[in-house]
Amino acid sequence: MDLDKISTLIKTKRKEQNLTQKELADKINVTEKAISRWETKRGTPDISLLIPLADALDINVSDLLNGKVNKNENKNIKEIINYIEINKKNKNKIILPLVVILYGVLLFLYLGFLKLDYGNFFSNTFIGEMLINTFFAFCVIIINYLLGKYYFDLVSDKEKINKITYIILLVIYCITFLNVTIFGRSKYGVIGYNIVPFKTLIQYVKYFTWHDFKINIIGNIVILMPLEIIIVKLFKIKKSSLNLLINFILVTAVELLQYITRTGIFDIDDIILNVFGMMLIFCALKGKKNFFISLTIFLSFLFLIFGSSKIINYYQIHQKGIVTNVLIDLKPSSSHRKDDLNYIVSNIIRNFNTKDYKGCQLIKIEYNEEEIRKREIGLAQEENYDEVIIMTFKFKTNNNPLECFDPNQTYEHQAIYGIKNERIVLLNVGMG
């Protein structure tokens, strides 16, 4: 049995049939690269492919094994046995052990990462955590790509490899997502809900900050996009209505879980943004044209939010609205707190006329880090937060319904915010 002759026969007979490598591959349900390997003597057809390959080339199996067309068909069983042994030897001996070793190393590293992660080693940044998980996902894709390309020939085998890949990616994504949205917030004790559509979005637009824009708008749209890709590819979802229903159920379940565990509020606007991002990806996966349409819709939506917020802020400033009615005096000792301070100022203004401060008029917000730095450090250690910011605000009242304050008096209160895992949480508010 001569492998050179077998390779030459396959190539010759394919050309006689006026078939391209791809056309022959489609006929016997293998990849085009598999045909290329057989014809260049870098591999041999699996024994399960001998009959369909011989039929496609219009020869018998005995001719294929002998590497030449023989009118007197030889059905010697020894030829088949010899071919099986040669096929085993010709299989890539390196790729399978290499894949096993790589998966072993990757599993060890990932378990080590999870141990460090839940030990708060990576708790200072969720961005770093997500990048590390992305690296592990990329490694899984590369390993399974090598296995499918150099070890398997059948299309059905490659489809199984792809399915395994998506299952592993789903597990990695779920671990990352649950850690970011649930387990990483276990100490916050947040509770609340909003079931009025666009109420929170309007607040983000009205009191625009880059923190809200990046985390609460772009973040909510983008965070579930990878999950949508995995779900569509793994379960082969084609109907947009079914996909919309699945997305709505998944996102609502996450919001309910956050509400029950007090790791976040149940917000209908979060559901809207999450589902919006997932449906954009679903449309994009249907083709290049749909991809560009989805990208245009996404960018237009962000531009609408950003542009409208700037217009509203311009109107507020020039019409002497709520923003210019409040004197803002920020004196941090360094510039690294600028975004955090702007977010807190926006939060105070946005929520001032609620609960105990209803009917009060906000006059001034100030922050002087040099004066209260020691207290901030002490509270951060005591409350187990990365940082603490103490913001002072002054107000007066004419008609406070709770009668907590004397009319026409000016009061000074402090709002204490804790920062942990890049999230800002209100810890306490009242007299300093």
Q: Which amino acid is at 289?
A: K
Domains of the chain: 3-90 (1.10.260.40), 95-181 (no CATH), 193-313 (no CATH), 327-430 (no CATH)
CA dihedral of residues 299, 343, 132, 385 (deg, nearest 10): -170
Q: CB neighbours (10 Å) of residue 86? A: 15
Q: What is the Cα–Cα distance from 274 to 247, expressed in whole angstroms?
A: 8
Q: Is the dihedral of CA 401, 402, 403, 404 positive or negative?
A: negative
**CB-based contacts of 339: which residues, under 8 Å, 6+ apart?**
209, 210, 211
Q: What is the Cα–Cα distance from 79 to 46, expressed in whole angstroms?
A: 14
DSSP 8-state secondary structure symbol assigned to residue 92: -
Q: What is the Cα–Cα distance from 244 to 253, expressed in whole angstroms?
A: 14
**CB-based contacts of 350: which residues, under 8 Å, 6+ apart?**
203, 206, 207
Q: What is the Cα–Cα distance from 285 to 139, expressed in whole angstroms?
A: 23
What are 420's strand-pairing partners?
Answer: 423
Q: Which amino acid is at 262?
A: R
Q: Is the dihedral of CA 340, 341, 342, 344 positive or negative?
A: positive
Residue 396 near residue 409, CB atoms below 8 Å: yes
Q: What is the pLDDT of residue 42?
A: 80
DSSP per-residue letters across 17-45? TT--HHHHHHHHTB-HHHHHHHHTTS---
Q: What is the pLDDT of residue 67?
A: 78
What is the pairing mode between strands 193-194 and 327-331? Answer: unpaired
Exposure of 345 by Cβ count < 10 A (0-12 exposed, 13-18 middle, 19+ buried)? buried
Q: Which of 124, 57, 130, 50 is nearest to 86 (CA)?
A: 50
Q: Which amino acid is at 197?
A: P
Exposure of 67 by Cβ count < 10 A (0-12 exposed, 13-18 middle, 19+ buried)? middle
If phi over 0 gives left and psi between -120 and 50 gives alpha, with beta otherwise, what is residue 384?
left
Quickly tell me which residue has 């200072």 as its tokens: 124
Exposure of 16 by Cβ count < 10 A (0-12 exposed, 13-18 middle, 19+ buried)? exposed
**CB-based contacts of 61: which residues, under 8 Å, 6+ apart?**
50, 51, 54, 80
Q: Which of 234, 217, 225, 106 is nearest to 177 (CA)?
A: 225
Angle among Cα 204, 210, 212 to the nearest 5 degrees reads 40
Q: What is the Cα–Cα distance from 44 to 2, expressed in whole angstroms?
A: 11
Angle among Cα 194, 195, 200 to the nearest 5 degrees reads 50
Print pLDDT tens along the chain (432 aa). 567 888 888 888 888 888 898 888 888 888 888 888 888 888 788 777 888 888 888 888 878 877 777 655 545 544 554 655 555 555 556 777 888 898 889 888 888 877 776 554 444 456 667 788 888 888 998 988 888 777 776 667 778 888 889 999 999 888 888 877 777 655 444 566 788 888 888 777 766 666 677 778 888 888 899 999 999 989 988 888 888 899 999 999 999 988 888 777 888 889 999 999 898 888 888 776 666 777 777 777 777 766 666 665 555 444 434 444 677 787 776 666 776 787 787 777 766 766 567 667 788 888 888 888 888 888 888 888 888 898 888 888 766 555 566 766 788 888 888 887 667 778 888 775
Q: How many residues does the chain have?
A: 432
Angle among Cα 421, 422, 428 to the nearest 5 degrees reads 90
Q: What is the pLDDT of residue 227?
A: 92
Quickly tell me which residue has 């056309």 as its tokens: 23
